[in-house]
Amino acid sequence: MTGMTIAAILAALGQHHGEADPTLLQWIMEALSHILLGTLGFTELTIVIIIGIIILAMPALIVIAYWASTRRAVPRAANPPAEAEEPLLRSE
């Protein structure tokens, strides 16, 4: 790509944003506060800890899944070739 094309793509991406509706955001915050703080009885610190655990758990689970998938894969060099085994019965 040329420099002009990259600049056009970046300019187009910069123009695609939405304005936040303050009324909607206020309603969402009040609904979450009512549910989490009022109904369930969580404190603000508890909510921050839960969100922090979720944020840290996502990449940790990805690393664990990758690690588990690479440990299960058996390298081909570790398997001896089938010709190396001596047959039990020889047909002559």
| pLDDT at position 7 | 78
Q: How far is CA 21 from CA 13, 16, 26, 28, 37, in A?
A: 21, 16, 9, 11, 23
User: In percent, how much of the chain has pLDDT > 70?
Assistant: 70
Rounded Cα distance between 52 and 46, Å, is: 10
| pLDDT at position 5 | 79
List Cβ neighbours of 64 (8 Å cut-off, separation of 6 or more).
none
User: Residue 9 in contact with residue 3, Cβ under 8 Å?
Assistant: no
The CA R_g of the chain, rounded to the nearest whole Å, is: 29
Q: How many residues does the chain have?
A: 92
pLDDT digits (tens, 9 = 90+) for 25-63: 999 999 988 998 888 888 989 989 999 999 999 999 999
Rounded Cα distance between 76 and 1, Å, is: 40
Domain residue ranges in the chain: 43-72
pTM for the whole structure:
0.47
Output the average pLDDT for the chain.
80
Q: Which residue has the higher pLDDT, 16 or 81?
A: 16
